[in-house]
Amino acid sequence: MRVQSLLICERILGITHKDTLFRLTFRGASYADSLQLQRCIHLWTLLLEIRVQHNSILHFDTCFAAQALVRLMLELNERNTHLYEFNADFEHLPRFVDVLTVFNLLTETISESYELLQIRPVHRKQQENFDNIFKCIAHAIYLLVSTAHGRDEIRRVYMSVKELVKLNICSACTSDTLLHLCVSRLNVIKSGYLNDNNLNIIFPDASVIKFLLDCGMNVNAKNEVKSTPLHIAAQPYNFSNEIISLLLNNGADLDQPNKSDERPFNLIASNPANTVSLMNYITLKCLAATVISRYRIPYKEEIPKCLEDFLKHHEP
């Protein structure tokens, strides 16, 4: 009866009418309450598809729908992973194909939306919506890595994420890249449909970080305050020796300062939990660049052009 009423509502009002979308939203929520979780995922994915096509990812309603769907998938993934370990015949939710569909919906127009945000003046709320969608994408990548099984699925994830990395998209408010987000505990998704009191903190996650690096993500990319992912990972609340080593082994620079003149080397060395031998990652070239920057020794047109950019990265 309820499904038929939805179909009648769609025929009379149209699929993009606000009352139709409202009914889709709460019919999905009622499915979730009655533990018909796959039906909820189907309905909310349809809702997200309509929102993206009709409103774009900069709209609050699109952001709200994406947050609810990705949060549901995250909670199902955590809960069902434990059940799957004891019962191999158990159907794992969320399914890979559903996660990939959501990822594609969120990323197919992200380049156009990002370009719109470069036009001034910018609506602050649109920036915030974009950043929330960006967090959803980071969590969708985590779900893709978790649910992909077999060479074909892993290859599809790799190709999809690699295309996103090539776009060089970053957050609108702080210019954080996906790598910045994936090394931070502050990267969480809040949703009006689900309980936010016990948020599952996914990040930092070494498997996602390694996957992004394998896809070509710049390990030394800087955000608005010139902090690299290593700066973020070196903060006490994010600190993990495994992730620090992973970033360093993939070329992260220990000696690049941010606007506050903080260097990852100092942050890591001062952390009592650190077990990484930092001297193995310090080069004479970095030390020389740091000294030139610290004492403000003139170097323009005194050294090859290729080294000038390297020196600029070592200036606050």
Q: What is the DSSP string of 12-43?
A: HH-TTSHHHHHHHHHHHHHHHHTT-HHHHHHH
Indicate the pTM of the whole model: 0.90
Query: Alpha-carbon dihedral of residues 120, 221, 182, 32, nearest 10 degrees?
Result: 30
Q: So what's the pLDDT on residue 316?
A: 74
Handedness of CA 232, 247, 202, 160 (dihedral sign): positive
Q: So what's the pLDDT on residue 72?
A: 92
Q: Which residue has the tokens 């009352």?
A: 19
**How many angstroms separate the CA atoms of 88 and 58, rounded?**
40
Residue 217 Cα distances to 50, 134, 208, 225, angstroms: 31, 15, 11, 19
Consecutive sets of 10 residues in the chain, 316 residues long: mean pLDDT of each? 68 72 80 87 93 92 94 88 52 89 96 92 92 97 94 95 95 95 93 63 93 95 94 95 95 90 92 91 84 82 79 79
Largest Cα–Cα distance in the chain? 79
**How many angstroms separate the CA atoms of 311 and 302, rounded?**
12
Q: So what's the pLDDT on residue 1?
A: 60
The CATH number of the domain covering residues in 56-277: 1.25.40.20
Cβ-based neighbour number of residue 158 at 10 Å: 16
Q: So what's the pLDDT on residue 89?
A: 47
Q: So what's the pLDDT on residue 194?
A: 58
Q: At what angle do helices 60-86 and 37-55 cross, to 10 degrees?
A: 150
Helical H segments across 110-240, by residue range: 110-116, 124-147, 151-166, 178-182, 206-214, 229-233
**Sequence spans of domains, the chain:** 56-277
Q: How many CA atoms lie within 13 A of 26 on its CB side?
A: 7
